[in-house]
Amino acid sequence: MKQFVKTKEFWILLMLIALSMIISSRTNVFFRPDNIIDLVKNNVVLGILALGMTLVIITGGMDVSVGAVIAVITVIIGKFMVNYGGNLFSTFFVAIASGVIIGGITGILVGYAKIPPIVVTLGTMSIINGLMFYYTNGTWINDIPQWFIDYGKITLFKIPGGDESLIGVPMQIIIFIVMAVFTWFILRYTLIGRAVYAIGSNPVSAMRVGISLERTLTFVYAYMGFMAGIAAVVHTSIMRQVDPNAFTGFELQVIAAVVIGGTSVTGGSGSVFGTILGVLFLSVLNNGLILTHIPTFWQKIIISIIIIITVSIDVIQRKRIERNLPKVDVEI
Amino acid sequence: MEQKPFLQMRNISKTFPGVKALDAVKLEILPGEIHALVGENGAGKSTLIKILAGVEIPDPGAEFLIDGQPANIQQPLDSTKRGIAVIYQDFSLFPSLTVAENIGFGREIGQGRRFVNWIEIRETANRALQELGVEIDLNSQLEKLSVAKQQLVAIARALAFNARLIIMDEPTSSLSQAEVEGLFKIIRNLKAKGIAILFVSHKLQELFTIAERFTVLRDGKYIGTYLKKDLNEEKLISLMVGRKVEFIKQPGGKVGQPILEVKSISKKGNFKDISFRLHKGEILGLTGLVGAGRSEVAQALFGLNAPDEGDIILEGKKVSIHSPEEALSFGIAYIPEHRQIQGLVMRQSVAKNITLTSLKKIRGKLGFLDNNSEKNLVNQYMQVLDIRPKNPDMLTMQLSGGNQQKVVLAKWLATNPKILIVDEPTNGIDVGAKAEIHRLLRQLAAEGIAVLMISSELPEILAICDRILVMRRGRMVAEFNIDEATQEKIMNKAFLGTANSVSA
């Protein structure tokens, strides 16, 4: 417990609780189980993308193409289901394969060609958006097959709702939990997961102990794509239609969630638990702004201010710590 | 009894474009031996370590034997698997990870695993720390530890690899006296377990306390391996110095009035109690080992590293310099050591680089840059310094090293400095270009500029300076007039001098 108090996650948790208190003092529906379930369900897409983004940012990278990637995958699976029927398995397969291919290409450009990730992902973002508008003309896909919509309505486990009724946990939340556990396992118990931390912490040392920067970075961006694939299916199952514009600017939210969750933009540290807290914090903030009737344009301003504050704190702390590291005079 | 060597390296050469860093070097290390690798700055120690670590691959023809068997070392893992561990000067640890992971992680990678066994990592880390006889919290984040403890973690990591040879690169450079003694105790314990140590350091007293044999390199060549009993500090220095590259002695100039006087300036952690005078028309050399604080003093004069105490007196007036802009306004120009990083915009034209420091001079009526005066200024300096090729629109990165250095000189001369500070002005350029830079510096001094030249190359210092200052570990330890200075005398002071020995 003493250990936990010292972690970044603890402070985010405190902030989350404080924020929830403020909101619930202004509206009495906030803490009702159905509001909470709704709130989480509406943000699982953000959450799943944030899980992938956590790895990217731990390596010291950044992926601004997530919005475009998930948007194009929703279009791909929308068209796929409308034109070929398909089933749940093949839809997932198409979504994941698309995501891994796009992410893998990004990863190869970052890892092997050593192009700065922000440049690569800005590029892929533009290319994808351009191609998508050429293909869809911005029109929605509305005729998603009924079988898929039915899947989206599945709920599991009954928990007591606000009144006497029981409400179920939507399957989308279950998928998010499974993905979170999976990502936590990768980061904690696989060598490539630890390599992700090592590269972010000190790339030169990582190379010296025999970690392949190229392979690890390719994996990280491919994993981001994998998560975008899962998130695309989940999103479509909730919205029951495909809007190619739905994710414009969404990368800001994803990056914000991860950074608020304590992942250092300078690389080397971050956790799944922190990211989940970051996602919840953003969700509660958005929800609270709606419940308290604050105009939505304030959201972007507030989120951006929070990002700048958290990143500043992180960078200042890091500078303090760096003074403690051994000083080197390089011999040439 | 003759012991069988753990490591034998023979005929190790390494050629980088334009330089032969190592030329048929030998190294032999016995099990459980404490071996010192010594040489001046640039003698090739770092390159040899990198080859041992598998970071650099030697030129063909090298023989590399471990336990008498040929070892094929192509990458870092090959070398760690054979029991060679390097503790770099920066330790090469992971600051944001825990102690346990820093120690145990490399080994897991070496085993080619896919999954992490945390129990094993903790056990490995625990065992290694116990072997060292130290206690460090396994869960603590590395960056929260003191430097000395971080070093222990680095040593523990080497033990976790079952290292039989641990290479330590300047291990005492950021330790206090008590911590150094602690480290030596640990090194002796490791020796007792049969682990060999290769100790690379500039601190000769420390080496004579701990090492049993010495291998000396000079200018990338093997000079010899000696037992401690056959050496003393003076003899060791005489083996290290004496570079054969000699430069044409430039005749000294007419030294004029003092222009700059530095009175016991100090900066915590950088340098202490530094005093000297610089005169018009003189070239004052400032030498010492890398890390002695020479560049820090220069940066203090240029406003990049303001001193905590002491006075800087410029033409009789006390001044304080807090930024390069201020320094320039006082007529001080500073040409930094790594011209590619700090001195030049490589992807811009020669002309744009030259005028970068003097944009105000070429400003036209409306405040926009005036092309004609830019051209004139650039042509003037390209002529004076003989920059080739004579094309001001060429990208700076396309020039040779010597001509790049001239562009840097031009850039700063365009500010009309009274004092020019140059830091390793001929680093990494060929001999012909070096001589030309020397001639230019002498010419500038003859025009009345006061030049302060930092250099590790003693032949260079002896060829062009009027006076020579020597620093050691942040202190001024000697001052020589050019006619009394020799390489041996300077190196003696650079390695062993104490602050009391300054005659001023």
- Measuring CA to CA, how many Å separate A46 from each of A57, A253, B13, B202? 16, 7, 56, 55
Examine the pLDDT at A321 and tell me if it is beyond 70.
no
| Chain B residue whose CA is closest to A192 | B114
Interface contact B76, partner A, CB < 8 A: yes
The pLDDT tens digits of the residues spanning B362-388 come to 777 677 777 788 888 888 888 888 887
Name which of B109, B151, B172 to mutate to probe chain A: the one with the most chain A Cβ atoms within 10 A of its Cβ.
Answer: B109
- DSSP H/E element including B14: strand B7-16
Q: What is the reported pLDDT for B504? A: 39
- Measuring CA to CA, how many Å separate A262 from each of A12, A20, A316, A321, B486? 8, 19, 14, 16, 58
Looking at residue A154, the DSSP 8-state letter turns out to be -
Examine the pLDDT at A331 and tell me if it is beyond 50.
no
What pLDDT band is residue A332 in, cutting at 50, 70 and 90?
A: very low
- Measuring CA to CA, how many Å separate B166 from each of A87, B11, B137? 60, 22, 23
Mean pLDDT of B48-54: 89
Identity at B30, one-letter amino acid code: L
What pLDDT band is residue B502 in, cutting at 50, 70 and 90?
A: very low
Question: Which residue in this structure is represented by tokens 């943000």?
Answer: A43
Examine the pLDDT at A1 and tell me if it is beyond 60.
no
Interface contact B97, partner A, CB < 8 A: yes
The pLDDT tens digits of the residues spanning B275-320 come to 999 999 999 999 988 778 888 899 899 988 888 899 999 998 999 9
Q: Is B193 exposed, middle or buried (0-12, 13-18, 19+ CB in 10 A)?
A: exposed
Q: What is the reported pLDDT for B2? A: 60
Residue B85 · residue B158 · CB < 8 Å: yes
Distance CA B330, CA A25 (A): 63
Beta strand B419-423 with B332-335 is parallel
Report helix angle A171-189 to A33-41, nearest 10: 60
Q: What is the reported pLDDT for A161? A: 64
DSSP output for A80-140: HHHHH---HHHHHHHHHHHHHHHHHHHHHHHHTS---HHHHHHHHHHHHHHHHHHHHTT--
Residue A53 · residue A179 · CB < 8 Å: no
The pLDDT tens digits of the residues spanning B92-115 come to 889 889 999 999 887 777 777 788
Contacts B290 to A, Cβ<8 Å? 329-331
Q: What is the reported pLDDT for A326? A: 53
Interface contact A141, partner B, CB < 8 A: no
The pLDDT tens digits of the residues spanning A148-165 come to 888 888 888 777 766 667
Q: What is the reported pLDDT for A29? A: 76
Name which of B56, B115, B146, B454 to mutate to probe chain A: the one with the most chain A Cβ atoms within 10 A of its Cβ.
Answer: B115
Min Cα distance A318 → chain B (Å) is 10
Interface contact A202, partner B, CB < 8 A: yes
Q: What is the reported pLDDT for B246? A: 65
Contacts A209 to B, Cβ<8 Å? 76, 80, 92, 105-106, 109-110
Examine the pLDDT at A6 and tell me if it is beyond 80.
no
Angle, CA of B311, B317 and B319, to the nearest 5° = 50
Interface contact A204, partner B, CB < 8 A: yes
Classify A2-318 by CATH class.
mainly alpha
Residue among B485, B481, B479, B483 at smallest CA distance from B497: B479
What pLDDT band is residue A68 in, cutting at 50, 70 and 90?
A: very high
Q: What is the reported pLDDT for A294? A: 80
Q: What mean pLDDT is reported for chain B?
A: 85
Min Cα distance A270 → chain B (Å) is 10
| Chain A residue whose CA is closest to B75 | A210
Instruction: Please report, rounded to a whole number, the percentage of residues in chain A having pLDDT higher than 90.
Output: 46
Question: Which residue in this structure is represented by tokens 């040489």?
Answer: B39
Report the Cα A98 to chain-centroid distance in Å. 17
Examine the pLDDT at B18 and tell me if it is beyond 70.
no
Examine the pLDDT at B219 and tell me if it is beyond 90.
no
Q: What mean pLDDT is reported for chain A?
A: 87
Mean pLDDT of A261-274: 90
Every domain of chain A and the residues it spans:
2-318
Interface contact B231, partner A, CB < 8 A: no
Mean pLDDT of A182-186: 96
What pLDDT band is residue B342 in, cutting at 50, 70 and 90?
A: low
Distance CA B488, CA B503 (A): 18
Tell me the pTM.
Answer: 0.75
Distance CA A83, CA A79 (A): 6
Mean pLDDT of B47-76: 88
Residue B94 and residue A193: Cβ atoms within 8 Å? no
* Cis omega (within 30 of 0) for bond into B389: yes
Please name the residue ranges forming H helices in B365-423.
Answer: 371-385, 401-413
The sign one gets for the Cα dihedral B132, B134, B140, B141 is negative
The pLDDT tens digits of the residues spanning A208-241 come to 888 889 999 999 999 999 999 999 999 999 999 8
Q: Is A10 exposed, middle or buried (0-12, 13-18, 19+ CB in 10 A)?
A: middle
Mean pLDDT of A311-323: 75
Mean pLDDT of A137-148: 86
Which of residues B341 and A55 earns the better pLDDT score? A55
Interface contact A124, partner B, CB < 8 A: no
Q: What is the reported pLDDT for B418? A: 92
Residue among B324, B285, B303, B292 at smallest CA distance from B424: B285
